[in-house]
Amino acid sequence: MTNSLIKASFQTIYMVFFSSLLSIIIGGFLGVILVITDKNGIKSNKFVYSILSFIVNIFRSVPFLILIVYILPVSKVLTGKMIGPTAAIIPLTVSAVPFVARIFENALKEVDSGTIEASISIGSSDFEIIKIMLSESLPTLVNGITLTIINLIGYSAMAGTIGAQGLGDLAITYGYHRFKYLEMTIPVIIIILLVQIVQILGNLISKKINKKLNV
């Protein structure tokens, strides 16, 4: 059981780490596009914003377990597998990207308009303005990303029940199916610990950034 717990824990961390990284990169990019193409954006484009916002909303609406079923063929093409931790990274990423996109959009829109106007007045490029907006919204972004990672930990457990392995699979296979509730409870405790660690680290990073911005 100990070896299985260690293996399952690393599988969960592996899934969550790479799906978080990919979703932050892709979702962050989409969130920036949403902000700059919005009505008051620096590159306002109603058509692009409407299409992108609609797509983001569609993927946010699909329940995760159903999304996995739809995305599994894509996982097969991209990873060569339909089960296992690597295959699960694709649906986990797809599920998180829309939420990350909205997190970035909302965080960047909270940046004081005076800061943006001042940047424009001194001739800053669009790229420089985006960098300023990102730096000003970092504490909010960190809190949002922390929440996303925590959600992905929960999603990875759900994915484990249909072949992704990890702690969710261990709890069901070794615990529930064999009526061994201790074996089912231990993976749950590890998941809770992972969530607590992520939340604590997220809070610490957010506070540290806030202090630097307020100096």
CATH number for 163? 1.10.3720.10
Give the pLDDT of the chain (215 residues) as one tens digit per residue. Answer: 677 888 889 999 999 999 999 999 999 999 999 999 998 888 889 999 999 999 999 999 998 888 888 888 888 888 888 788 898 999 999 999 999 999 999 999 988 878 787 887 888 788 888 898 998 899 999 999 999 999 999 999 888 877 788 888 888 777 655 666 777 888 889 999 999 999 999 999 999 988 887 76
- Rounded to whole angstroms, how far apart are CA atoms 66 and 162? 11
pLDDT confidence of residue 55 = 95
pLDDT confidence of residue 198 = 96
> For residue 111, what are its two tokens?
């940046």
pLDDT confidence of residue 214 = 72
Range of the domain at 171: 2-214
28 and 100 in contact (C-beta within 8 Å)?
yes
Structural domain tally of the chain? 1
pLDDT confidence of residue 185 = 86
pLDDT confidence of residue 68 = 86
35 and 104 in contact (C-beta within 8 Å)?
yes
pLDDT confidence of residue 196 = 97
pLDDT confidence of residue 1 = 63
pLDDT confidence of residue 164 = 80
CA dist list (Å): 44 to 40, 50, 203, 213: 6, 11, 34, 28
> For residue 101, what are its two tokens?
């996109």
198 and 147 in contact (C-beta within 8 Å)?
no
Residue type, 119: S
Q: How many CB atoms lie within 10 A of CB 157?
A: 24
pTM above 0.85, yes or no: yes
